């Protein structure tokens, strides 16, 4: 395939073709993509993006695929930033590249007696993905700890943006609203606390997650954002939707705001189930549920 062979000639990192997305999304969806590139440096990423833009090739940045729903064959190049994973910790300040695993980072911080990332110990994404959607849990999120980020702007210049400019709000940020900007590195400011107390809290929350969430099944976390002063799971459960399925996409019987893949679910199965739930909740309660996950077409 010409595009793939040209990408390999660029020598910007590992290149694979005919990608099975079940290996790269936590939903384990039965979809495919034209190609996937792992840039091995920021310079390689810029070189890759210049080539893709110059040749008008469709592309998308992904992290761990933990919040994505692919609905069909992706006729373009996916760019996975997990090779950008350098980290430096000085006192209570962490500088970390966007491809670093978020759960690992939360434990790195805990083991150094640094508090502020406990909420992230169960979020299976990357630092960049977490900042992009302002990932959070337990009434905290990335917006509380990010002091600044290095970004690629739409012209592929490296710039710095600070917390107030990043427009962090519930499950959204400047990056989500401006998708041509790419997170390269983040500076996080944490607090010094007792290491064992931090680890005990994380362990307690881990036990509760395992008891209440279907983490043993392919899923992508919470499907909908919680409406103001309410819970999406409560509305869905009250409608009797626990266990409701469309083909192999199923509303978890453990947690109504999770959809799981019970076998060979397609992206369209999940979307059809999502749309049905949205319609029922709107009709019954007059609430327009907002999707927390991202649909990729």
Which residues are annotated as catalytic? 171, 222, 292
Helix-helix angle 42-54:2-10, to 10 degrees: 140
């Amino acid at each position: 395939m010409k595009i793939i062979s040209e990408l390999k000639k660029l020598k910007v990192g590992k290149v694979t073709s005919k990608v099975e997305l079940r290996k790269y999304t936590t939903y384990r969806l039965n979809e495919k993509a034209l190609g996937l590139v792992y840039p091995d440096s920021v310079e390689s990423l810029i070189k890759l993006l210049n080539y893709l833009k110059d040749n008008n090739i469709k592309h998308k940045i992904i992290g761990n695929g933990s919040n994505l729903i692919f609905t069909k064959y992706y006729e373009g190049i996916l760019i996975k930033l997990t090779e950008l994973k350098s980290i430096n910790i000085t006192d209570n300040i962490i500088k970390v590249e966007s491809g670093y695993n978020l759960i690992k980072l939360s434990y790195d911080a805990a083991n150094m007696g640094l508090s502020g990332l406990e909420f992230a110990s169960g979020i299976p994404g990357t630092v960049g993905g977490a900042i992009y959607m302002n990932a959070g849990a337990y009434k905290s999120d990335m917006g509380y700890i990010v002091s600044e980020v290095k970004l690629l702007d739409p012209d592929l210049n490296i710039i710095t943006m600070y917390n107030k400019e990043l427009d962090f709000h519930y499950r959204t940020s400047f990056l989500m609203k401006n998708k041509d900007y790419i997170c390269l590195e983040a500076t996080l400011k944490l607090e010094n606390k007792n290491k064992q107390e931090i680890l005990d809290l994380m362990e307690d929350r881990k036990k509760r997650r395992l008891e209440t969430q279907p983490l043993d099944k392919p899923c992508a976390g919470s499907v909908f954002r919680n409406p103001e002063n309410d819970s999406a799971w409560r509305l869905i459960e009250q409608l009797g939707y626990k266990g409701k399925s469309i083909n192999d996409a199923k509303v978890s019987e453990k947690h109504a705001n999770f959809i799981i893949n019970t076998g060979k679910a397609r992206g369209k199965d999940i979307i059809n189930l999502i749309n049905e739930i949205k319609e029922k909740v709107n009709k019954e309660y007059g609430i327009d549920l907002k999707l927390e996950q991202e649909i990729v077409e």
